[in-house]
């Protein structure tokens, strides 16, 4: 399960990094807390962080359930795809929000596979 712990910690580090970029963007674009609007470029950074928060609450339990009930090596690989997808999503969203599709799919597909696999694995374990 060390692999799943590493993926989990990397996901948290990635989220913290996105949060730090929001803080930097606040200063760069003159957006004082608690405001979350006022400059489109700041808002892009903010949406990357918030969308990552929305996704991480899906990703982490799915990662651990799939790893426990199906295969932790496959879960780790899917987790890496998710992490790279989040980075691509962030870069493309900040560049031009309409270009976020590939990164979004690289996060949604692994999560959905792990949700389905984890659920089926848990049901199978009950039977």
Whole-angstrom CA distances from 44 to 6, 23, 55, 76 are 28, 12, 16, 29
Indicate the fold that domain 2-122 takes in CATH: 1.20.120
Please provide the average confidence, as pLDDT, over all residues in the chain.
97
In tens, the pLDDT along 22-77 reads 999 999 999 999 999 999 999 999 999 999 999 999 999 999 999 999 999 999 99
Sign of CA dihedral 31, 36, 37, 42: positive
Give the mean model confidence (pLDDT) for residues 70-98. 98
Q: What is the pLDDT of residue 64?
A: 98
């Amino acid at each position: 399960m060390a692999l799943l712990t590493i993926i989990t910690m990397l996901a948290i580090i990635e989220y913290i990094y996105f949060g730090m970029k929001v803080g930097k963007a606040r200063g760069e674009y003159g957006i004082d807390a608690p405001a979350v609007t006022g400059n489109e470029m700041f808002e892009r950074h903010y949406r990357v962080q918030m969308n990552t928060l929305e996704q991480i609450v899906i990703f982490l339990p799915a990662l651990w359930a799939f790893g426990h009930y199906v295969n932790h090596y496959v879960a780790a690989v899917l987790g890496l795809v998710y992490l790279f997808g989040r980075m691509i999503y962030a870069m493309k969203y900040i560049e031009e929000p309409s270009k976020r599709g590939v990164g979004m799919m690289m996060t949604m597909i692994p999560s959905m596979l792990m949700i389905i696999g984890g659920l089926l694995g848990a049901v199978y374990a009950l039977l």
